[in-house]
């Protein structure tokens, strides 16, 4: 694909979803190209991947949200970024920021939304009698984990499921669901 959509991935930690999207994006027909990674955590492992694979990356502190978003917007404009993927980004963006990228910011969440929005998802799921959990890719709007759902993947919860085993099982699915969702948006 010649005109891939210039994309920025926001991370805060491990960066495994970023890495997965990056790998898929090498396919000629994949609709986006990651041209920037932004982290609000200087120690994010994902930054090591960005460095390894030659993707431009920036760390901006998010202790002051206004400054953080100003820095992001400046960099995003400079690089003509048109699409944003949040992948384990642990900061809530302001309405102002979200509105300036309306329908162009997506996120992945490790539950079957609208169930279990917010943090500590797997622990909360296991405290219920639910037989299934999963992951969701959705557009970002002004309410936490509440934007329009793009794709979901269901996984079953086994009898002896632990937080760790559920997290690993779902993460495996996330790595496929996120790229598939990007494809489905732009097809
Ligand atoms: C994933 O489980 C994602 O669903 C959630 O944060 C985690 C990020 O993992 N939003 P990684 O940084 O992509 O490895």
Structure tokens belonging to residue 45: 């492992």
Q: Which protein residue's CA is at the shortest distance from atom 2 of ligand 1?
A: 110
pLDDT of residue 138 exceeding 90: yes
Determine the pLDDT at residue 155: 98
Determine the pLDDT at residue 1: 73
pLDDT of residue 2 exceeding 90: no
Determine the pLDDT at residue 101: 94
**CA 75 – CA 166 distance, rounded (Å):** 37
CA of 107 to the centre of ligand 1 (A): 10
- Can 109 be counted among the known catalytic residues? yes
Q: Which pLDDT tens digit goes with each residue over 119-129? A: 999 999 999 99
pLDDT of residue 105 exceeding 90: yes
**CA 78 – CA 72 distance, rounded (Å):** 10
Q: Which pLDDT tens digit goes with each residue over 71-80? A: 999 999 999 9
Which atom from ligand 1 is nearest to the alpha carbon of 110?
4
Average pLDDT, the chain: 97
Determine the pLDDT at residue 178: 98
Domains of the chain by residue range: 1-101, 111-136+153-187
Among residues of the chain, what percentage have pLDDT more than 70? 100
CA of 3 to the centre of ligand 1 (A): 28
Prediction pTM value: 0.97
Which atom from ligand 1 is nearest to the alpha carbon of 86?
10
Interstrand relation of 132-139 and 149-156 (parallel, antiparallel or unpaired): antiparallel
Residues in the ligand 1 pocket, defined by CB under 6 Å: 11, 13-17, 87-88, 108-110, 135, 171, 174
Which atom from ligand 1 is nearest to the alpha carbon of 170?
2
3-state secondary structure the chain: CCCCEEEEEEECCCCHHHHHHHHHHCCCCCCEEEEEEEECCCCCHHHHHHHHCCCCEEECCCCCHHHHHHHHHHHHHHCCCCEEEECCCCCCCCHHHHHHCCCCEEEEECCCCCCCCCCCHHHHHHCCCCCEEEEEEEECCCCCCCCCEEEEEEEECCCCCCHHHHHHHHHHHHHHHHHHHHHHHHC
Among residues of the chain, what percentage have pLDDT more than 90? 97
* Residues 1-101, CATH architecture: 3-Layer(aba) Sandwich (3.40)
Q: Which pLDDT tens digit goes with each residue over 59-98? A: 999 999 999 999 999 999 999 999 999 999 999 999 999 9
Going by pLDDT thresholds of 50, 70 and 90, the confidence category of residue 35 is very high
């Amino acid at each position: 694909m010649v005109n891939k959509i210039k994309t920025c991935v926001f991370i805060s930690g491990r960066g495994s979803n970023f890495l997965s999207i990056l790998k898929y994006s090498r396919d000629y027909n994949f609709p986006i190209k990651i041209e920037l990674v932004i982290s609000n955590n200087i120690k994010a492992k994902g930054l090591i991947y960005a460095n390894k694979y030659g993707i431009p990356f920036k760390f901006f502190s998010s202790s002051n949200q206004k400054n953080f978003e100003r820095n992001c917007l400046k960099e995003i404009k400079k690089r003509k970024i048109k699409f944003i993927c949040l992948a384990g980004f642990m900061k809530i963006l302001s309405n102002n920021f979200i509105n300036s990228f309306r329908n162009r910011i997506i996120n992945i969440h490790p539950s079957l939304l609208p169930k279990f929005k917010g943090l500590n998802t797997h622990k909360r799921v296991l405290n219920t009698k639910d037989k299934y959990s999963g992951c969701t890719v959705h557009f970002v709007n002004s309410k936490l984990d509440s934007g329009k759902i793009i794709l979901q993947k269901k996984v079953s919860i086994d009898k002896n499921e632990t937080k760790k085993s559920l997290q690993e099982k779902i993460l495996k699915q996330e790595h496929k669901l996120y790229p598939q969702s990007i494809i489905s948006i732009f097809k």
